[in-house]
Structure 1
Amino acid sequence: MDTVNSIYSYSGLGYYVLDTTFDGNRTPNKDVTIFLISGSLEITQNFTLADPQDTAVFIVNGNIYIDGEVTRIPGLYISSQTFSIAEGDQPIIFDGMVYAKNINFQRKYYSFTNPAYTFIYQPKYVIDLLPYLGRPQVNWQEVSP
């Protein structure tokens, strides 16, 4: 990660494993970090964003795998295939959103008072992504006859 780029592209075969030191903090200002991954993404441990204003977006043309030891992760996760959460005996909390063709939940956590999966809707991830999606080229205007 560097302080200049905010969009990272990985197009290798196999898995892209998220760096365990990633915290979304590249500059003193609000940071938007976008990962474009052609292949699969694997998240093997918890991570947090250093600044609550920072944003992490993962757009994956493949599968996303979340390890069984992971209990909390922030971000927007978009997968063209399957979003999988491995077996684990702890609940997991997502601060953000998940969009995928298929979702595979395998947690073995049981509780009468706490859910195994908690999704905390964070629209900031989509809002922060909008400037990178471009602007429509058509501008409709009413003209007088």
Structure 2
Amino acid sequence: MTIILYLITLILLFISFIKDKNKTKKALKKGLKAFENILPQFLGVIVLAGILLAIFSPELISKIIGDKSGIFGILISAIIGSITLIPGFIAFPTAALLLENGAGYMQIASFISTLMMVGIITFSIEKTYFNTKFTIARNLLAFIFSFIVAFIIGKVVI
């Protein structure tokens, strides 16, 4: 499947190049620049995840946020996701690494949900544009919603 996607991409790139060389070159340069900007974050999180996976054995990960950790593991994952500030394109590969090393689906669903929706780190910025009451309510509802997501994922996947 990956090879097919690469082939389709190359064919579309070739068609774009034939249609308008300047726009294609400009788009490729812009894409490369975006990749260069993302790369340090991506490598930093991957290195951090690698170090954590080297320190924490799959057994320990499974014990803390594995299938058998139950609501405690979901809560730990939700708290970590709430205070972590990483973009989705880094969060999903990290979640896959955690799953491969013993994390549970419900726990990862809670982590990803809070990571994307709860903003403890961005609270001060958000309350500037909205008000404090709204920001607290939104974050609290998002935190609660992450448990609903985890429950649904648990029913669908398991």
| TM tier relative to shorter chain | under 0.3
Greater relative contact order structure (CA < 8 Å, 6+ sep): 2
TM-score when normalising by structure 1: 0.25
TM-score between both structures, scaled by the size of structure 2: 0.24
